[in-house]
Amino acid sequence: MVQAVKLSEVSNRKRRVDENEPSEESDINVSSTDSENDSDDDDDDDGGKQIVNVDFDFFNGNPEVDFHAFKNLLRQLLGPQESSRVQISQLADLMLQSPTTTIKTDGQESDPYCFLSFINYKEHRDSDYAQYLRKAEPKLAAFLQSIDSNQTKSCALVISERLINMPAEVMPPLYKITLEDVTNTLGDDKKYDFYIILSRKYEVNFDVDSDDEEDTSARSKKRVKQAEIDYFHPEDRYLEKHAKIKCESQSKGGIISSYMVVDHQGLVDSINELEQEIASWK
């Protein structure tokens, strides 16, 4: 089933559900690159800055189109070392069987620039990815064991990735749309109790001056390495704030794998707080 919506209209319009209804064309203004004269005029008017208007459409995952794009984005999310330990093709198939929303700019048949997927852990506990999570971190293994032994508690494995230049503004509506699909899939207005969210951070090393305490006669300066950790995804700052469990891998090539366990209210609060921050940017 095809479902689409414009980002600018997400607050007051449901996604299109009629597969035969034509999709609106993406409004990408590339006229400034068509003519050198036009480009020169634009440079004079705005100091060389160019504005490209893009309409983002939200679609359900499409097995006929999205499989290979999912694999590429999963490799980006997991990194070269971790992705070799996960069956990427099986995970992409699993996402396409689960509530998954993609963002595209050129219709349903184009490649997704972003995805968000919620996989039912108990239904797929024997999948390669679920087994990988149980081995990845002792804290995750203990948590998942508690979920397995509790018949009343549910858990979703949340996987989300996007191209690096995708704006954070797409994330609140992306989460809201996909959570609505999750509720429809579970039925009876049900929600997952917990979410295990895979993400990543990056490490930036820089030199700072430091006093050499060993030289008491003439304190000398030396350069020492310090590291600063930051988020690839702005929403992770809020998800981590509300996380019940947080796990991080050792830095490998400056990339740190991150796992967070968030309950449903924590997830909702995180997205609302991100939305409030985004509103302050305007």
Query: How confident is residue 211, by pLDDT bands cut at 50, 70 and 90?
Result: low
Percent of the chain with pLDDT over 70: 74
Q: In this predicted structure, which of 54-68, 107-121, 223-237 has the lowest mean pLDDT?
A: 223-237
Is 121 within the bounds of a domain? yes
Quick: pLDDT tens for 119-128.
Answer: 999 999 999 9
Residue 254 belongs to a domain = yes
Tens of pLDDT, residues 76-98: 999 888 888 999 999 999 999 99
Asked, for residue 193, whether it belongs to a domain, the answer is: yes
Of residues 128 and 19, more confidently modeled: 128
pTM higher than 0.85 for the full model?
A: no
User: Looking at the predicted structure, is the pLDDT value of residue 180 above 90?
Assistant: yes
In a domain, 27, yes or no: no
pLDDT at 53 over 50: yes
Quickly state the pLDDT bin for 242 (edges 50, 70, 90): very high
**Are residues 133 and 92 in contact, defined by beta-carbon separation less than 8 angstroms?**
no
Q: What is the pLDDT at residue 227?
A: 73
**pLDDT confidence of 276, banded at 50, 70, 90?**
very high
**Is the residue at 42 inside a domain?**
no
Break the chain down into helix, strand, coil percent, rounded to 5: 40, 25, 40
Q: Let me know if residue 107 belongs to a domain.
A: yes
* pLDDT at 257 exceeding the cut of 80: yes
Q: 30-45 b/e with 16+ CB inside 10 Å = b?
A: eeeeeeeeeeeebeee
pLDDT greater than 90 at residue 11: no
User: Domain range holding 90?
Assistant: 7-19+55-281
Q: Would you state the pLDDT for residue 32? A: 37
Inform me whether the pLDDT recorded for 158 exceeds 50.
yes
Q: Supply the pLDDT for residue 225.
A: 61
- Token readout for 111 is 């490649």
Report the mean per-residue pLDDT for the chain.
82
pLDDT score for 251: 80
In a domain, 37, yes or no: no
Work out how many domains the chain is built from and give that number: 1
Q: In this structure, are residues 113 and 146 in contact, taking their beta carbons and an 8 Å threshold?
A: no
Going through 144-193 in order, the beta strands assigned E by DSSP cover 155-162
Name the CA dihedral angle for 112, 80, 258, 126, rounded to a multiple of 10 degrees.
80
| Residue 184 DSSP SS3 | helix
User: Is 44 a member of any domain?
Assistant: no
Q: Domain of 76: which CATH number?
A: 3.40.630.30
Q: Kindly give, in sequence order, each residue whose CB lies less than 8 Å from that of residue 245, ignoring residues fewer than 6 positions away.
A: 139, 140, 143, 259, 260, 261
pLDDT at residue 175 is higher than 90:
yes
